[in-house]
Structures are given as structure tokens and as C-alpha cells.
Amino acid sequence: MSVLRSRFVQAVVILVGAFLALRFGIRPPAPWSVIQIYMAVVFLAVLIFVSSDTDSWRSFVNPMRAALVDPSQRPVRIVLAVALPILLGYYAYTQAAARPQAPAELRAVHPAPPGSIQFRGKEINIAGVDNPLRKDVATFKRNVAAGGEIYVRSCMFCHGDNLDGHGLFASALNPPPANFEDPGTIAMLQESYLFWRIAKGGPGLPRESTPWNSAMPAWEDRLTEEQIWQVIAYLYDATGQEPRRWETAH
């Protein structure tokens, strides 16, 4: 029981449990950069927890101090002396080693969308579909306003309050969030393309788009079909961009 009451053991259990929950308990999987952000928050919370009072801090520090100076812990020091350089060396190697990259000419900046997708058990055609909210001119501005509210709640932290990709979390994401003000992004795309990307996120990208996969999460479990179309309408309205239209046969 005394071991379980140790603040050091409790801190390790919380950190390991939080990592496992974030890494394996979220479906679809969260991007690694997002996991790093949440783990940093958990680490700071644990640090505050173990330093809440003198006894708690002493209980947290004692096992580490004993591992460094206690004569009975000499085997632990030997293991650490061997394991830590190996782990640091492996980390340095993984960061410095060359990674296989697809040829530049094969880069898929805007990977081809599928012909249709499954959205909450419903099949939605992507090819040839425009934003259905544009058909009702009388309510379109209302839908744009609703899309703006959804953007502020769910998208602004990454894509920024100016829609320029410089949100609060943007610097921690790799690759960075899309800059909607850039004429090379949504102005080059049909609205149905955006629906696919928002609904399926980075996990829904085809393999040929790697290694340029997106850190975008899949929103199909959080937003309804109408809400996604509303956000799309807001993006074009707020940036002054016009969506690319599907070519029609003459």
C-alpha cells in the first residue's frame, strides 16, 4: 500500500494511463502532434498535483533521490546508466536518419477524392455535388452565420481567427493547418471536396498522399451533415473566395 501511495508511482500511473487513453482510446486516432499537446497539459497538471504540499513533493522526489544515492539501489543506477544512453542514441538516430520520401513530382497537394463516401451510414456522392445550402438563397446568410459559430467552436484553434492557418495550436501541428486565405487552397477546390476532407480528416486520406498526410481530425462523429456544409459556406463567404464549380457537359 505504501508503494501505491507514493506520489512518484501515482504520477507515473497517471502519465502512462493518459498516454494509452489518448493513443489507443480515441477513434479515429488523434494526430501525434495533438497527443503531444494533451500530454504536455497532463504533465503540467501532474507536476502541480505532486507539488501541492511539502509531504507530497517529498514523496515524489524520494524514489528518484534513492535511485541516485542509496547504496542498495546500485543495480538500478547501472540499468539507468546503460538504458538512458541507448534510448537517447536511438531517439537521435530516428531524428537524423534519412526517411524514404516520394519523388517531388508525385506529391499530391490535393489528393483525388473518392466518388462517394459513407457518412453516418448514408452514402454521399462527392463527384458533381455542390453545397445544397446554396439552393435556398433566403436562408443562406443564416447558414453562413451558423457555420461561423461552428468554426469558432471547433476550427479556430488550428486554422486561426483570421482563417490564415495561424491558430493557437498551429505551431504544434505537422503539417500546419491550411491557410484558407491562400488562393491555392479552397479557391482551387469544389465544396464537396471540402466536405470529404472535413468529414474524414487526415485518417481518410488515400495512401498516395503520404508523406504529406494532414493532422486534421475526422469530424463526422462531431458535426452533422448540415453543420459541415454550413462551415464550408462560411469559409468561402469569410475569405471572399469562390468555390470551384464542376464542369458540365454541353
Q: How many CB atoms lie within 10 A of CB 92?
A: 10
Is the predicted pLDDT of residue 120 greater than 50, yes or no? yes
Section 119-141 average pLDDT: 89
For the ranges 51-65, 197-211, 234-248, the lowest mean pLDDT is seen at 197-211
Return the pLDDT at 104: 46
Range name among 3-7, 105-109, 120-124, 199-203 with the lowest pLDDT average: 105-109
pLDDT at 220 (0 to 100): 92
Q: Give tens-digit pLDDT for 219-231.
A: 998 999 999 999 9
| DSSP 3-state of 32 | helix
Mark whether 113 and 139 lie in a shared domain: yes
Please report whether residue 15 resides in a domain.
Answer: yes
- Is residue 160's pLDDT more than 80? yes
131 and 235 assigned to the same domain: yes
**Same domain for 7 and 63:** yes
Mark whether 91 and 112 lie in a shared domain.
no
Q: What percent of the chain has pLDDT over 70?
A: 87
Do 191 and 142 fall within a single domain?
yes
Looking at residue 43, what is its pLDDT?
95
Residue that wins the pLDDT comparison between 100 and 177: 177
Q: CA-to-CA distance for 58 and 204, rounded, in angstroms?
A: 48
Clarify whether residues 157 and 229 are in a common domain: yes
Is residue 39 located within the same domain as residue 136? no
- Of 189, 169, 168, the C-alpha closest to 242 is 189
Could you tell me if 130 and 201 lie in one domain? yes
Alpha carbon distance, N-terminus to C-terminus of the chain: 79
What's the pLDDT tens digit per position in 13-70?
999 999 999 888 886 677 777 788 899 999 999 999 999 889 889 888 888 888 888 8
Q: Is the pTM of this model over 0.85?
A: no
| Nearest-10 crossing angle of helices 32-50, 7-24 | 160
R_g over Cα of the chain: 24
Asked whether residue 87 is assigned to any structural domain, the reply reads: yes
pLDDT at 41: 94
Asked whether residue 248 is domain-assigned, the answer is: no
Give the end of a domain, one of 96, 123, 139.
96
Residues 6+ apart with CB under 8 A from 82: none
Domain identity same for 222 and 183: yes
Pick the last residue of a domain from 41, 66, 96. 96
pLDDT above 70 for 107 = no
Together in a domain, 71 and 165: no
Q: In the 8-state DSSP scheme, what is residue 125?
A: E
The domain tally of the chain equals 2
Task: Let me know if 65 is exposed, middle or buried by CB neighbors in 10 A (0-12, 13-18, 19+).
Answer: exposed
Residue 246 lies in a domain: no
* pLDDT at residue 144 in the model: 95
Q: State the residue range of the domain holding 160.
A: 108-239
Among 76-85, 111-120, 132-141, which is the least confidently predicted range?
Answer: 111-120
